[in-house]
Amino acid sequence: MADKVKLSKDGSSIDFVQSESIPTSLKKFRQSPEIEGFYRFIFENDLQKEAYEILDRIIVQRKAKKSQDKKLQAAEDKKDQKKKK
């Protein structure tokens, strides 16, 4: 299999080979060249811990935003109900 990820000589940039088609299922997404290359880059450069910490932060932020959005929606729904009465 050809290299999917190319790191610049100074290590400042990453070059991924992109495919033209967008995967339609989760299984195909995981097997897409871009994701496979990204996983390979993380593994080959021993960045598993850093990648985990980044993904964990993203998950926490998304959960907080989702919770905040639900609270705002509930408050708006309450206002709408009061206006109807």
Predicted TM-score of the model (pTM): 0.52
Does position 38 have pLDDT exceeding 90, yes or no? no
| Phi, psi of 16, rounded to the nearest 5 degrees | -100, 145
Q: Which of 9-18, 33-42, 68-77 has the lowest mean pLDDT?
A: 9-18
Q: What is the DSSP string of 8-68?
A: -TTSS-EEE---SSPP-SHHHHHTSHHHHHHHHHHHHTT-HHHHHHHHHHHHHHHHHHHHH
Residues 40 and 16: their CA atoms lie apart, in Å, by 11
**What integer pLDDT is reported at residue 57 of this predicted model?**
95
For 49-75, the pLDDT digits (tens) are 999 999 999 999 999 999 999 999 988
| pLDDT: which is higher, 20 or 64 | 64
